[in-house]
Structure 1
Amino acid sequence: MMNYSPILIIIILVAALIFYRQIISMFKPIKGKGTRIIATLFLLTPGYALIMNPNAEVTPTEITVALLLGCVFSIPLIFTTGYERREDGKIYVKKSLVFVVIFLLLFAMRWTIRGLINMDPDSRMLLFFVTACGYLIPWKLISYYKFRKVYVAE
C-alpha cells in the first residue's frame, strides 16, 4: 500500500498556493494577459498519477458523483471571483471576504468528508483528486474568461 503523506502534503501545498495567489491578486495587479490564472491548473499535475494507480478501485458512478460534487463546489467560487480595473489602470481580483470564507469552507468540507468515507486510501485519494479537478478547472477557466472581459474592455 502506498504512503500518502507526501501526496497529502502536496495537496495542502497546492491549495495553499492557489489561495495565496488569489489573495495576493486582491492587492497586487495581475501581470500579463491573464494566462497565469489558468497556469495554476498545472499544479494539479502530480495528482494525475492517482488516476493511473492500479490499486484504486472505483466505479464510473463514483467518479461521476465526485466530478459532479466538484462542479457544485465550483459554483460559489465562480460567483465570488471577479476582476476590476482600478484607478491605476491595472486589473486586480475584486476584494471579497466571502470568497476567502467559501474557499476555506470548501477545503474544510472536503477534508471532513474525506475522513468519513470508508474505502481504501487509494480509491479515496483518487475520488478526492477528481473532486478537486471538478471545482478547480471550471473555476479557473471561468475566472480567466472574466479576466479577459475586463482586460479587453480597456
Structure 2
Amino acid sequence: MNSTVSLLISALIFFFILRGQRSGMYKPLKKSGITLLLPILYISTSFMQLFDPSLHIGEEQVIIALLIGMMVSIPLIMTTNFEVRENGSTFIKRNKTVFVLLIVIFALRFIAIATIHSIEPGTLSFMCNLITFGYIATWRIVSFIKFRNVSSSKRALLHI
C-alpha cells in the first residue's frame, strides 16, 4: 500500500473520530459507552498492511511506534472528560482543545511522511499507523474507563 492510500485511509478515520467526538458533546452517549471504543476498530483496519510483502519492520520499531503513540495519547486523555447533564445523560465535556490536539497530531503525521526519506515509504506509513493505533487505543480505553466511572457515580447518586 503506498503512502497516498495510507494517508487517505488515515484522513477518513480522522474524520470519523472528529465526528464522533463532536457528536458526543451534543448527543448523550449510550449507557454502555461501547461507541467510545469504535475508533480502535477503525484504525485496526490498517493492520492489513502486514500482508504487504514489501513491508520491512522490526520488533523494536513496532514497540517504539506503540510507545510513541501511548505518549501522544496523554494530552488527549487529560483533555477528554465526561459530564452528567441535568437530564441525567452522560456527555463528553465540551473542550475545543481535543480538536486542536487531534488536528496537530494529524498534521504532524503528514509532515513526517513528507519529510522522512530514510525509511521506506510503506514501512513509514505502517509505523505511523502503529503510532496512531497506540494513541487511539490508549486514549479511547482510558476514556471508556472515565465514562464508566462518571456513569456509575451518576447511578449511585440516583439510588441515594
Query: TM-score scaled by structure 1?
Result: 0.92
Match of 1:138 in 2: 138
Alignment of 1:75-90 (within 5 A): 75-90=74-89
Superposed, 1:1-154 pairs within 5 Å as 2-118=1-117, 119-153=119-153, 154=155
Does the CA contact (< 8 Å) of 1:33 and 1:151 recur in 2? Answer: no
Task: Give the letter for the 1:52 counterpart.
Answer: F
5+ long unaligned stretches in structure 1: none
Uncovered stretches (5+) of structure 2, i.e. residues with no partner? 156-160
Larger mean CA deviation between 37-46 and 70-79 belongs to: 37-46
Conserved 8 A contact 2:2-2:121: no
Find the aligned partners of 2:60 and 2:128 in 1 and give their Cα distance.
Answer: 14
Query: Amino acid of the residue matched to residue 116 of structure 2?
Result: I
Taking a change above 3 Å as real, the CA distance of residues 45 and 64 of structure 1, as seen in their structure-2 partners, is closer
Listed one character per residue, the Cα deviations across residues 12-43 of structure 1 (whole Å, up to 9, x for unaligned) are 10111011110111111112310111123111
Distance in 1, Cα, partners of 2:99 & 2:7: 22
RMSD in angstroms over aligned alpha carbons? 1.4
Higher helix share: 2
Q: Deviations over 1:70-92 (max 9, x none)?
A: 11110000000000000111000
4+ residue runs over 3 A deviation: 2-7
* Identity percentage of aligned residues: 28
Matched residue of 1:140: which SS? helix
Structure 2 distance, partners of 1:46, 1:4, is 15
CA distance in 1, matches of 2:141, 2:93: 17
In the alignment, the residues of structure 2 paired with residue 45 and residue 138 of structure 1 have an alpha-carbon distance, to the nearest angstrom, of: 13
Contact map agreement 1:56 1:123 (CA 8 A) in 2: yes
Q: CA deviation at 1:109?
A: 1.3
Paired letter, 2:122: D
Bigger mean CA offset, 19-28 vs 40-49: 40-49
Provide the secondary structure at the position in 1 that maps to 2:83.
strand
* Structure 2 residue identity aligned to 1:150: V
- Counterpart Cα distance in 2 of 1:62 and 1:48: 15
